[in-house]
Structure 1
Amino acid sequence: MKKSENNNYSKFNRNFAKCQGEFTNKTKSKSGLINWNYLFPATLAFICYANGLKGDFVHDDIFAIKGNPDVHGETDIWEMFRNDFWSKSISKNTSHKSYRPFTVLSFRLNYMYTGPESLYFHVINVALHVIVTTLFVYTCQNVLHQRERCAVLAGLLFAVHPIHTEAVSGIVGRADILAAAFYLLSFITYSKSIINNNVKHRVIFYISSLVFAAVAMLSKETGVTVLGVAVVYDAMETLKNLRKDGKEKVLSSFVTRFIFTIFFIAILLGFRLWIMDGSLPTFTRADNPASFEESVLTRGFTYGYLMALNIWLLVAPINMCYDWQHDSVPLVESLADPRNLATFTAAVMTFYIFMSSLLHYGKKHHYALSVSLVLTVVPFVPASNIFFPVGFVLAERVLYIPSMGFCLFVTLGFFRIFDILRCYRTHVTTIMLCLLLLLSLKTWQQNRVWQTRETLFRSGIRALPHNAKVHYNYANFLKDSREYENAVYHYKEALRLESDYASAHNNLGTLLGDISEAESHFREALRLQPNHQSAHINLGNLLFKRGLKKEGIGYLYKAVEIEFRNPDALVSMGGCLMETGNYTQAENYFQSAIEVSPDCYEGYASYAVLLSKTGRHEESALYYKKAYELDSSQSATLVNAAHAYRTIGDIREAEVLLKQAIDTRRDVSAMEELAVLYYSSGRTRESLALYDDIEKQNGNSTETVVRHAKIVANQGDLERADEMLSKVLLNNHNDIDVLKTLAQVKGQLKKHQQAYELLSKVITLTKNAERRNDLEQLYIERGNNYRDIKMYDKALSDYEAVLRINPHHSTAHGNCGTIHHINAVMQEPSGSIEKARYHYHKAIELDPHNDIIRDNIARLERLQYQRDIGVG
């Protein structure tokens, strides 16, 4: 029986060694020695995240990378070291106080050498995860002195654990990975400073450890905890050596290292406080609701449950979410809450492991358990709310470093069970392999969640439907996708769950068609959050459009005051000032917007409009072209640039740009602008061909038809122009331009009755629209039609109507003179000659070079002479 058991044991060992890729052997290849102990976990780490490499920039990536001038190299390198993670000056009150310059530097180098594509950012993240996995295996094997199989299994668990997906697949998670890499390097070099017999080497290793710890902290704040782990590890090693050797030198070395390490920690923390200008980050209740509770018991119960929940996510990463803020975890407000049982269970288990390790400290297994506990607990302390409140309820990414200790703990448990259940080792191994497979599949699936904004935000709705933040984020995505109806629904759902959500009020207001309702949401956002910059911008723009220009500009000024580096605030302010005619100040704001954000499309486009308004058309064209380079989907900027070139007479460049716009996207506005250009430069046939193409594309807007009809009419094809305009009039009964153009065509076709009927309607509409400047010409045109059909009284009435509007209208005076002249010839009313003479002389005073009027005056005088002779 015993022999059979030994045979089974030997057979199992052979099979296990084969499963783990012959971990205990070094196999020679053509390229040298390959240590499978490191290669197998590293390879699995890469495979598990390979399907996430093509993911887009999502969530915080957009602000921390795509919209970060520090990453794009637009700021000085030293300025980058004075800014926070989001490119705000870390000393400002509005800063988030996340100081991670080495992570930002890695993004900057990434951007510099690989460009803005997300693929390469993902590649670096996965590569760093592979490096961390390798360093972790090395640490377990060579620093913590675990068996090779134990180190490899711990590395495999770490490589595939789904809790890491936020850190690896979310690009901003690089802060955690980078910190973990330097964390392990610091821990490894610290351990070498303990065991190395050469004093010089010992000092070098120790200083290296401190440098790596500093870099870890500058990659992410939690990196500094490695020195706490190192001190505890040093104490454990010192105690072990004292029991073995009992040398005073061992204790003396420990005390020296301890004092220097504590002093260095104080320096790092002092520097951190100094760089923040002595101010701590400020959070809102939505960031971490428990920290804003007055009840000590509620805070204590909730903090305890959150710790238990973090442990549960390490044990069973099933329901995962990218954002656990707001009320994603309801407060634990009483002792009767059943969730306290989870807290109690986690506390008892942790206490048991700690006491067991302490009581059996001399045993190798319990020593390793102690180390795994330290590696889990110490890195988590900054996120535990114990010493200071943090800006989140729960964050999966912060478990990246603590998960090392957890993976080692699970591995130690596995081998403990493996040693105890000798008869069931095959089953135990099978269970562990199945666990690795399940974790790998979960990680593979979770990577898909981080592929796009849509997949990420949809996953949040599924995971935490009671969380207002996930509805708000999904609504933002829907808004950007122009699914406005669905976006409104999710903004309202966010407000149903959390009525004091200022940003939801603000964003909902931007989608509402009811101006008064939108205004109420903007004002509510400002009541809840007085320094909400976007709400200031939106309310300012709304009030300005409503005619409350002074009040609107006041809100925009406040928005700029809150954060000057916001291009939206600067562009909005500049736009409103431009509308009020304050071009100089508007130009300053547009230039500032471009300066703080060189990739700000709106800044270039708005500045181009201003330059066009001020007659600087060549500069305007250049800025329109720059705007197009930033957003090639906006072909209107090329059209506007072409219009600017046409204005300054550069027809060739205008034509090139318009053809480029048409080639890029068969844009009707570009085609029409080119048609107008052709017509104005005498290329009528090409112009009409383009208009025919527009008509074939069903791209005919009302304005396009009117312009086309005018060209057709000018070419003499009045019947076609009549047909075109009559057709478009069917759906545009009250369009003034259509009515007026059609009336002109009807007049040319001698259809005077239809012409004056159309013009009568136009005059009525123009009066209602208060377009007084157009009335003069309309009365003239209708009067001409009345005159042509010999309805002289009505013609005269229209000409006199013009003079009531503008007494100095030379054409109206001339036409009045003509009607009176005709009446005089017909011997109709008495005094017609005097009236005709009066109007003719007024007309000649206003237009001295009008030969027709002079001829009419001469004829009138002859008529007067003949009348005088006849009377005499």
Structure 2
Amino acid sequence: MGVIILVTIGVDVMRRHWSNHSRLLRILFVVFLVAMPICRTVIRNRVWLSRDTLARSGLQALPNNAKMHYNYANLLAAKGQTKRAVQHYKTAVSLWPSYISAHNNLAHYMTNKTQALAHLTEVIRLQPCHANAYTNIADIYHRLLRFAIDCEKTNPAPHLSLATIHQELGELTSAQLHYDKALQLAPRQADVYYNVGLFFEKQDPFNLPSLRALARVHRKAGQNLEAEICFAKILEIRSDHATLDMVGTFYYNIGNAYKATNFFREAYALEPTEEIAVHLKAIHHYRSAIRLKPEDDLLQKNYKALLDLYHLDNATILDNREITANGTATTVDDVVGREASRVYVLSHKNDTDRSNRNSDLPGSVALGQGLGMLPDRQMSLTVEKESP
């Protein structure tokens, strides 16, 4: 408006002084009016050639405008110039401290995660339901977990956390990879098995590996009732010889000889084998021998090897007593000894055709050591048991 007024006044002054050239003045005035917007359009067209030139033009025109710095920072970030973008985001925040979008984007591109979290916290303070801020916080912690893995490659904790994140996102393949890595790093850590068990259980409530993993964790944690519930579910799904034998071993470990022998008996009925009877009888004879000669290192060594085979807990079962079906209080040793003898005799009656081959059986080796018939060497049993 001011320019138009000045031009009008100038033309009037010129007309008065150059009254003899009024026609020329009118022509020049018309040319000027036409040329002005044309020149302005040409200049502005150069500014609008690209996003970059437009943003820089706005920044030059309004250097103290927070939005101009924010828009230019977005442009730089899109071009991959994150360092320059961070500087303009910081300027925008300094000019407008409550600029939520600038705080959020600045945090996203900052390399200092502590400062980034501070900006995101400010965003949430200003707008508690800002979804992008929460997303960026999660992304920061995700990257920190990966950094933790690089810092300490033998620590299973970051793998467990990443596995949980991938699981919640539905990325099951990635989740299982991290769970497998955690198991590899900590094969004897209870919470690792617990998380893996929960993972498989969520995928399939009747998944046998997950139920076995949960049962092991509960057993190691001393949560026998929870472990018993898991074993009950396992038996509902599969009650074959191996499962019955595993459940029997669990009850033997917690000192419940009556239930243990019942499950061992059922396992033997499904798959008649001398091995169960021999191993139980060997355990019984080792106990008796150790009571007579507690100082014998060979007996202790071989007895421990046999317990390790079945993953039995000697400290637990030595002091426990069990009430049998007829109400008689008896030791675990007595129950196992009687049951082992009964099954052992029965197996010989049913398998007389194999009597000439008994000396080659792994069970016979165990029994022979139990009776002190073999030389000083640790047992080498080929049957591998799954520990509950």
- TM-score, length of structure 1 as denominator length: 0.18
> Using CA pairs below 8 Å that are at least 6 residues apart, which structure has the higher relative contact order?
2
- TM-score, length of structure 2 as denominator length: 0.38
